[in-house]
Amino acid sequence: MKVVLMLALRSLYNRRLTAIMTVISISVSVALLLGVEKIRTEAKSSFSSTISGTDLIVGARSGSVQLLLYSVFRIGNATNNISWQSYQEIASQPKVEWTIPMVLGDSHRGYRVLGTTADYFKHYRYGRKHTLAFRDGQPFEALHDVVLGAEVAKQLNYQLGQKVVISHGTGTTSFSKHEDQPFTVVGILEPTGTPLDRTLHVSLAAIEAIHIDWQSGSYIPGSGGTTPVSERKLEPKQITAILVGLKSKMSTFQLQRSINNYRKEALQAILPGVALQELWSMLGIVESTLLIISGFVVATGLFGMLTALLTSLNERRREMAILRAVGARPWQVCLLLVLETGGLTLSGILLSLIFLYGGLAISIPFIENHFGLFLELSLPGLYELKLLSLVFITGLLCGLLPGYGAYRYSLADGMTVRL
Amino acid sequence: MKLLSGVLLALVAPVVVAEGIERQFESHEHGKAVMTVVLEGKALQIEINSPAANIVGFEHAPADKQQKDALISVIGQLKKPEQLFVFPDGSACLADLAEVQTTMMDDHETDHDHEASHDHETGHQADSGHDGDNHSDFQLSYQFHCGSPALLKGFSVELFEYYPQMKQLQVQLIGPSGQSYQQLDEDNRWINF
C-alpha cells in the first residue's frame, strides 16, 4: 500500500503539468459550486434581512405577500389605504413601542417617494439589526426636505442642497408634477442593499402639503384654499402601511389577531419574517436552478479529470507494463490509479477552498459596497462538507474506470512494440 | 348639556357599530390548523387554533351522551400539555398554563365545569358556536416556563398522534433567531427554533 502510494506520487510528479492542470480545473469547478451555494444562502439571508426588528406590518386586508411587496419592496400597489384614525388607535396600544406610518404613491423619475416620520430613521432595521446611517446630511426637518436613498443619489447624481421635484403617481414619465413645491435634498443615506436605496423619503406633512391643490385627481391651483402651507395643520387622512415594533414579542400574535379582527376597518397585520419566507418559497425554483447549475459545473470538472486520466493511460501503458513486470499485481495497478484520482480530487478540493476564501476575503468589501449583499466569511457548514465529500467520493470512483482498464491490460500489452 | 350629549352618544353609538365590518369569518379548513409559538427569554407561549372536526370529529354542540363524553375527555386530554409537546432533555420546560376554549360548548353545564377547573376566563370566542350548523373551533393556549431555554433548540408536537384527523399544522414562530414559518405533519413533528 505504502509503495503504491509512493509510486502514485512519483508518477504524478512525473506528469506534474497535466496533474496541476487537472487539480486546477477541479478546484475551479468546486470553488464555483461552493461559491454558488454561498451566494444562494447569503442572497436568501440578505433577502430576508431587507427588514428586521419590525414585529408587524399593518396594511389594508389583502395578501400577506402583497402587503410585504408594496410596503417593504416598493413593488405593486396597495389595494386600500388605512385611515389615520385607525393608525392612531394602533399606535396608542400599550403593547406598541413604536410605529412608522408610511405613505406611498408619488415618485421621482421612476423612484418611489415615501412619506414617513423621522422615526423611520430611528427604528428601521435591516440585515443583522443594522440601523440606517447617513452618508451625508441628516433626517428631514423642514416641510420641503427630502432624504435620498444611496442609489437615487448615485444614479441621478444628486448632491445636498439640490432641488428635486416630485411627480404625482408612480410612472417613470409622469406628466403631472408637483412643480409648485420643490424639495431640497438634506440627507443621503448609506447603501443598504435593500429597496430603501431606491427610495426618496419625505415627511408625512410634505405629502399632504403637495396634494393641497389637488382635487379629484388633478391639479387646480388655489383649489385647496389660500391658507399658506406653513399655517396649515398638515395631517394625513390616510396612509398606506404601518411598521410596528412591540415592547415584548409575546404580544405579537395577540396584536396581530386584534388587528385582523378589527371591526371598523378591514386591516391586516403580517409578520414580516413569515411573509418573507412565503415569498422566498415562491422564488424557490430560482434557488434550485442555481444549485442544479453548480452541480453540473462540478460534473464537468470531474469529467475533465476522467478524460485527462484516460488519455494519459494510453501513454502510460509502458509504465503499467513495467510495474507488472517487476511484480505488481493487477489490483495494485488499479489501486495506483484510484489513489491518483483521489489525490487529485482532494488537492483540487483543498485548492478550491483556498480559492473561495481568498476570493471572498478580497471581494467582500467590494460586493458589500456595490451590491449591498452582506457576505459572511464563515467556515463551510455541514451541507458544504457533505457536498465536498460527495465530490471526493465521485473523484475516487472516477479512478476505477481507468483503473479497471489498467487491470485488464495483459503484461505483454505494453511491452510489445507496435509498428 | 351632559345629559344631552349622553343621549346623542347613545344615538350615535349603534350607527358607528353598524358602519363597521360585522360579517367576517376566519378561514376554516378541516385537516389544517394554525399554531403560533413565541419564545422570549424563559417564557414559551404556544397557541393552536383548529377546526373542532380535527380534534373531536364533529362540529355541532354534542347531541347525545356519547358525544358529550367524547368532548369532555378530549378537553381533559388537551389540558395535559406535557403529553402534547415533547421538549429536549435539560430544557426544563414546565407548563404554567393550559387553556382550552371551544365554540362548541353551548352547554352551560360543561362550560361552568370548565371554568371551575380553571381560573381563566372562558367564553365564546365568536358568535358562530350558537348557531346549530355553523363551524366550530378549538382555541388552545399553553404557556411554559423553561429553566434553560438555551437547550431548547426545538420541540416536537404530538397532536397528530392523538388526533388522526389533524393532518397539517401551519406554524408561525418567533424565536431567538427571529420570525419564521414551518409546516408540521404526521411525519415531521419537530419545530425548529
Count of Cβ atoms closer than 10 Å to residue A173 Cβ: 7
What is the C-alpha R_g of chain A?
A: 32
Q: Are residues A314 and A295 in the same domain?
A: yes
The residue with greater pLDDT, B114 or B170, is B170
Q: Are residues A316 and A203 in the same domain?
A: no
User: How are the residues of chain B apportioned to helix, strand and coil, as percentages rounded to the nearest 5?
Assistant: 30, 35, 35
- Spell out which residues of chain A touch residue B46, defining contact as CB-CB under 8 Å: none
β-sheet bridge partners, residue A58: A242, A269
CB contact under 8 A, A249 and B172: no
Give yes or no for a contact between B33 and B170, defined as CB atoms under 8 angstroms apart.
Answer: yes
CA distance A211 to chain B (A): 28
Question: Quick check: A24 pLDDT over 60?
Answer: yes
| Closest CB from A250, A264, A278 relative to B40 | A250
The residue among A270, A300, A326 that closes a domain is A270
- Spell out which residues of chain A touch residue B16, defining contact as CB-CB under 8 Å: 264
Calculate the dihedral angle through the C-alpha atoms of A390, A392, A394, A398, rounding to the nearest 10 degrees. Answer: 180
Most confident of A39-53, A162-176, A225-239, B67-81: B67-81
CA distance A55 to chain B (A): 8
Residue A279 lies in a domain: no
Q: What per-residue confidence (pLDDT) applies to A415?
A: 62
Confidence class for position A287, pLDDT limits 50, 70, 90: confident
| Closest CB from A248, A261, A274 relative to B40 | A248
Q: What per-residue confidence (pLDDT) applies to B115?
A: 37
Q: In the predicted model, what is the mean pLDDT of residues A172-198?
A: 82
The residue among A240, A270, A300 that closes a domain is A270
Confidence class for position B17, pLDDT limits 50, 70, 90: very low
Q: In the predicted model, what is the mean pLDDT of residues A257-281?
A: 89
Number of A–B residue contacts, CB under 8 Å: 45
| Closest CB from B17, B21, B43 relative to A250 | B43
Q: What is the count of structural domains for chain A?
A: 2
Give yes or no for a contact between A100 and A281, defined as CB atoms under 8 angstroms apart.
Answer: no
Question: What nine digits make up the cell of A382?
Answer: 455541514
Give yes or no for a contact between A347 and A23, defined as CB atoms under 8 angstroms apart.
Answer: yes
Residue A231 lies in a domain: yes
Q: Are residues A66 and A30 in the same domain?
A: no
Confidence class for position A101, pLDDT limits 50, 70, 90: very high
Helix (H, G, I), strand (E, B) or coil at A180: coil
Question: Quick check: B126 pLDDT over 70?
Answer: no
Q: Are residues A342 and A266 in the same domain?
A: no
Q: What per-residue confidence (pLDDT) applies to A327?
A: 81
Query: DSSP string spanning A240-256?
Result: SEEEEEES-GGGHHHHH
Q: Are residues A130 and A264 in the same domain?
A: yes
Confidence class for position B103, pLDDT limits 50, 70, 90: confident
Q: What's chain B's average pLDDT?
A: 77
**Residue B117 is inside which H or E element, if any?**
helix B108-117
* pLDDT one-digit tens code per residue, B62-95: 888 888 898 899 999 999 998 899 999 888 889 9
Question: Quick check: B169 pLDDT over 80?
Answer: yes
**Lowest model confidence (mean pLDDT) among A26-35, A61-70, A297-306:** A297-306
CA distance A201 to chain B (A): 27
Residue A275 lies in a domain: no
- Cβ under 8 Å to B: A residues 159-218: none
Q: Are residues A125 and A167 in the same domain?
A: yes
Residue A277 lies in a domain: no
Q: In the predicted model, what is the mean pLDDT of residues A209-219?
A: 74
Q: In the predicted model, what is the mean pLDDT of residues A157-164?
A: 91
CA distance B20 to chain A (A): 4
Confidence class for position B116, pLDDT limits 50, 70, 90: very low
Q: Are residues A320 and A209 in the same domain?
A: no
The reply to whether the predicted model has a pTM over 0.80 is no
Q: Which of B45, B75, B47, B55 is nearest to B146 (CA)?
A: B45
Q: What per-residue confidence (pLDDT) applies to B123?
A: 41
Q: What residue in B sits closest to A267 (Cα-Cα)?
A: B21
Q: In the predicted model, what is the mean pLDDT of residues A137-145?
A: 90
Q: Are residues A266 and A296 in the same domain?
A: no
- Spell out which residues of chain A touch residue B24, defining contact as CB-CB under 8 Å: 261, 266
Helix (H, G, I), strand (E, B) or coil at A69: helix
Q: In the predicted model, what is the mean pLDDT of residues B151-156?
A: 90
CA–CA dist A262, A396 (Å, integer): 64
Q: What residue in A sits closest to B20 (Cα-Cα)?
A: A264
Q: Which of A136, A174, A130 is nearest to A152 (CA)?
A: A136
Q: Are residues A179 and A124 in the same domain?
A: yes
- Domain interval for residue A27: 2-47+284-415
Q: What single-letter DSSP state applies at residue B115?
A: H
Question: Quick check: A68 pLDDT over 60?
Answer: yes
- Spell out which residues of chain B touch residue A52, defining contact as CB-CB under 8 Å: 178
Question: What nine digits make up the cell of A170?
Answer: 408612480
Q: Give the pairing of strands A96-108 and B85-86.
A: unpaired
The residue among A243, A270, A297 that closes a domain is A270
Confidence class for position B111, pLDDT limits 50, 70, 90: very low
Residue A278 lies in a domain: no
Give yes or no for a contact between A183 and A165, defined as CB atoms under 8 angstroms apart.
Answer: yes
CB contact under 8 A, B21 and A263: yes
Q: Are residues A78 and A184 in the same domain?
A: yes
Q: Name the percent of chain A lying above pLDDT 90.
A: 26
Residue A383 lies in a domain: yes
Question: Quick check: A116 pLDDT over 70?
Answer: yes
The residue with greater pLDDT, A40 or B139, is B139
Question: Quick check: A281 pLDDT over 60?
Answer: yes
Query: DSSP string spanning A381-402?
Result: -HHHHHHHHHHHHHHHHHHHHH
Confidence class for position B11, pLDDT limits 50, 70, 90: very low
Q: Are residues A21 and A170 in the same domain?
A: no
Residue A276 lies in a domain: no
Q: Are residues A62 and A18 in the same domain?
A: no
Q: What per-residue confidence (pLDDT) applies to A407?
A: 78
Q: What per-residue confidence (pLDDT) applies to A171?
A: 64
Q: What's chain A's average pLDDT?
A: 84
Confidence class for position B128, pLDDT limits 50, 70, 90: very low
Most confident of A55-59, B109-113, B133-137: A55-59
Q: What per-residue confidence (pLDDT) applies to A372?
A: 59
By the CB < 8 Å criterion, does A282 face chain B?
Answer: no
Contacts 24+ apart (CB under 8 A), A312-321: A312/A15, A312/A18, A313/A337, A313/A402, A313/A405, A313/A406, A316/A11, A317/A409, A317/A413, A317/A414, A318/A414, A318/A415, A319/A11, A319/A414, A320/A406, A320/A409, A320/A414, A321/A409, A321/A411, A321/A412, A321/A413, A321/A414, A321/A415
Residue A23 lies in a domain: yes
By the CB < 8 Å criterion, does A394 face chain B?
Answer: no
**Lowest model confidence (mean pLDDT) among A230-244, A246-260, A385-399, B112-126:** B112-126
CA–CA dist A401, A389 (Å, integer): 19
